[in-house]
Structure 1
Amino acid sequence: MAKNGDAELRKHLVEVLTGGHAHATFEQAVKNLPVELRGKVPKGGEHSPWQLLEHLRLAQWDILDFSRNPKYQAMKWPDDYWPKEKAPADEKAWDKSVRAFKRDLKEMCAMVEDPKTDLFAKIPHGDGQTVLREALLMADHNAYHVGQLMLVRKMLGAWG
């Protein structure tokens, strides 16, 4: 791939990871969500905003960890990916989860932006995955669940 094509690919990947072009961003989905609604499952819904936030954080962490850690240990599906509690312990737990999500997303973006990262090389401890594939997986997974979080907000009367 031409050098300028490589830089363009990296730029586009970061844009897909951070969202906002075809769907809501993570920041929009969590901003100003009333504390009293964070642990509420809407009528006809499956998950509370807290459960979706934590699932986003946990799954994103797992993808990032797999992408960079040669000693990666797989998490157990679905137990390790979904919190059992419907509500955060307190506001600090919510804020901590939001910060961790943003930090891990920033780290994946930095990995993608780094010209030393071979986006097409197979991850040695994987079974054919590449950093490119993992970045796209993260973007896809995040977009899906951010959309769910927006829907839950609407069902709870906390959006638009």
Structure 2
Amino acid sequence: MLLTTPRLRLCLAPPPFDPSGFDWVPEAPGAGVWELAGIAARAAEVGWYVPPWGMYVIVRSGDDRALGGIGFHGPPTVTGEVELGYELAPAARGAGYATEAVTALAALALEDPEVRAVTARTAPANEASQAVLIRAGFTRVPVPPADGMVHFRRTA
């Protein structure tokens, strides 16, 4: 599966993740990409992995360089929510790529009739990621601070 935006291609990377098929920018793939790949791999091991609810490699269309990853933490829950996560290499940050990728993946999820909301979490100190989510149409939601994260939600 392939999603396209004006500047990016989001390439579904089914488990097991093989980074060798991409031309990565320096410092990529990072720990966040491997975390997403691990989520998809564990889901596949228990029969829970179902495309399109996996990890995507973010590829810049202009030069075909892989910038990072974005993906879902699993298929929609019984309450119709899907959580997404993402990471870009430091060299790719600050150019709007994360906002473009998050917007596209959230829109894909919200096209599914089973999905009522797309959620995301960031560390309190990660103001750049919080700004990405706001620009991508998410709103901050108050939740008990049990997990220490800042929670966001986007609906159709």
Select the structure that is richer in helix: 1
Q: Identify whether the pair has TM-score above 0.5, normalized to the shorter chain.
A: no
* Structure 2 length-normalised TM: 0.24
Select the structure that is richer in strand: 2
Greater relative contact order (CA < 8 Å, ≥ 6 in sequence): 1
* Structure 1 length-normalised TM: 0.24
